[in-house]
Amino acid sequence: MWYPKCEKGFRSVGCCICSPDCLAGLVDDGAFCRKDSYGRGVGVSRLGCPKHLEKSGLFCYPPCAGNQVGVGPVCWPRCVNPAGTDCGLFCTSSVATCVNTVVDIVGQSAKVTLSLVAQDYTGAIKTAVQTGGKYISLDACPK
C-alpha cells in the first residue's frame, strides 16, 4: 500500500494521519498542538468581589439599603415588629402565618397550572385574579 507523504511542517502518525510539528512551548497531542496548562489548586476560590460590592452565590451585587436584605439580585425589605417575620416579599405576624400563606400560594399556583393543562383558561384566569387580589392586599414590609 502507498500513502502520500506529509506536507512540510507535518509528520506521519500511524498509517494515514499527518500531525503538525509543534512549535517550542506547545505539547504534541498526536493530531494537535496545544498550550501547556497548569492547575491553580483544588478547592481554592479565587473569585471575590471588589470592596464596593457584596457576594451572593457566585455573583457580586451592589449592597442593599440598610433596611433591606439582599438575596441574589433582589433587595427584600426587612420586617420590623409587630409584623416581624420575614416571609419573602411579605411580612407576617408569625411563622405559622407565613407558612399558611406560602402553602396557599403554592396550592393556588398548582390550581392555575392544572386549569391551564385542562384548557380551562377562564378558570385559570379567575383563580389567578382571586389569588393575586388576596395577596396584593397584604401590607408591605415597613420601610
Pick from 47-51, 60-64, 131-135: least confident: 131-135
Specify the amino acid at residue 130.
Answer: Q
- pLDDT of residue 40 exceeding 70, the answer is no
- Helices vs. strands in the chain: H and E counts, helices first: 2, 10
- pLDDT of residue 115 exceeding 80, the answer is yes
**Residue 103 φ then ψ, to 5°:** -60, -40
Closest CA to 32 of 19, 23, 41: 19
- Across 81-101, average pLDDT: 75
Closest CA to 107 of 76, 115, 136: 115
- pLDDT of residue 62 exceeding 70, the answer is yes
Percent pLDDT > 70 in the chain is: 75
> 95 CB contacts (<8 Å, ≥6 apart)?
85
Closest CA to 97 of 110, 112, 82: 82
- Across 39-67, average pLDDT: 72
